[in-house]
Amino acid sequence: MPLELAYRYFGGEGKPPLVILHGLFGSSRNWTSAGKLLARSFEVFALDMRGHGDSPFAPPPMRDYSFKTMASDVRAWLSARGVNHPILLGHSLGGKVAMRLAVDQPKLVRALVAADIAPRDYPPHHTVAFAAMRSLDLAALNSRQEAEQKLRALLNDENLARFLLTNLVREVDAGFRWRVDVAGLYAALPELSRSSLAPGETYPGPTLFLRGDQSDYVRDGDRPLIAAHFPRHQILALGRAGHNLHVDQPAAFTAALEYFALDLE
């Protein structure tokens, strides 16, 4: 059963709708800066996928984080909010979900944008991040600063520690909790590391693959696979950008989407 997804609205009423799906450990709030820039040309909605941000976790005992289920959440959200024929933009994990929805429901999607992700299997990422988050004793934490110090020591990566801490919230009289379903998503990691598409599945609509030139998530060797699934595709690399290309190069990222949308008119 689809879950009701939380979202943020960044404006642009009356313009072509753009729906954004974030990556693993992310949420709609990570798209605030880019979303405001994109709203000059699009009506921008950023969703929190199940198990992330302010959206519900998948219910136990069988927590379902399959790509088809997450895509069905997005489809239900589009229907409930009356958002018709949007450009669907997915980053990393969100890109896999966006590909799944576009293939399953091509008439619902005006165009697809996959940000720094390819339709292939990946080695399991984020195992170290999951281990660090699971090792924190939230009940014993006294402050966010203490949590940051412990994560930085475990990860030896200040930027990653700070990113993960965007998911740590403190409830009045209830202590700290994660806004991301650490246990459920960790259990689903083997599935989430695989491609969301099966051989032979295609989306016939316009598709843009945006990659960071300092990231290895989309490689030259992925081009034949991309072409097989997305016959009307373009691939564009953003300079001086890593995996989080919308953060590293927000102006260039926005311009790329705007030029892509011109071809849709």
pLDDT at position 149 is 94
Average pLDDT, the chain: 96
Q: CA 245 to CA 260: how far, in whole Å? A: 16
pLDDT over 80 at 96, yes or no: yes
Structure tokens at 141: 């934490």
Q: CA 153 to CA 174: how far, in whole Å? A: 26
Name the residue among 250, 163, 244 with its Cα closest to residue 211: 244
| Cα–Cα separations (whole angstroms), residue 218 to 89, 93, 224, 232, 234 | 16, 13, 12, 17, 13
Name the residue among 11, 5, 1 with its Cα closest to residue 54: 5
pLDDT in tens, 205-225: 999 999 999 999 999 999 999
Q: Residue 22: which pLDDT band, with cuts at 50, 70 and 90?
A: very high
3-state secondary structure string across 60-97: CCCCCCCHHHHHHHHHHHHHHHCCCCCEEEEECHHHHH
